[in-house]
Structure 1
Amino acid sequence: MARRFALTFPGETGGHADQDMVVVEATGTRGPGGHPVYADASGIVQAEISDAGEVRMMASGGHQTPRTPMHAEPLP
């Protein structure tokens, strides 16, 4: 399993905004599905990523509604 992923999120709905990309790294913990948890440098963006590349976004704080990325690309 990769230690880092680039998560690509869609731009704002109804506009022509660029896609957002966030790099996340393995945290050494596992999520509710038993897969590794990855987080960005700030710790705000957290995701559980399976061996099959399925992504489950995880809220890192109250009142958060994480968006689901369109793509998770393993990085070297």
Structure 2
Amino acid sequence: MSSQRYELVFSEGAETCVVVVVVTATGQAGPGGHPVYADATGIVRAEISDQEEVRILASGGGQDPARVVRVRPLP
């Protein structure tokens, strides 16, 4: 069973800062058929499988998504 909330931990590389974003289930399914999660602004959107594989989804033009390092389920 999937969590309703996750932390997405982003990093551009070992020498850069880490950004943590909390996302919540939207009730939508992504292109892979897995649940879509979004942050409070709706800018960060991700499809997360039941095996915690993450696919970042574009929410607007001109985005250059960072690499997801980790995904952590929240209670």
**What's the TM-score, normalizing by structure 1?**
0.89
Alignment of structure 1 residues 1-76 onto 2, 5 Å: 1-10=2-11, 12-13=12-13, 15=15, 17-76=16-75
1:13-72 superposed Cα distances (whole Å, 9 cap, x missing partner): 473x43110000000000000000000000000000000000000010011121231000
> Root-mean-square deviation (CA), in Å?
1.4
Unmatched tracts of structure 2, length 5 or more:
none
Task: Give, as a single letter, the amino acid of the residue that structure 2 aligns with 1:47.
Answer: A
User: Cα 1:2–1:14, aligned 2, differ >3 Å: closer, same or farther?
Assistant: closer
Alignment partners' CA distance in 1, 2:65 and 2:29: 18
Alignment partners' CA distance in 2, 1:4 and 1:64: 23
Over the matched positions of the two proteins, sequence identity in percent amounts to 55
**What's the TM-score, normalizing by structure 2?**
0.91
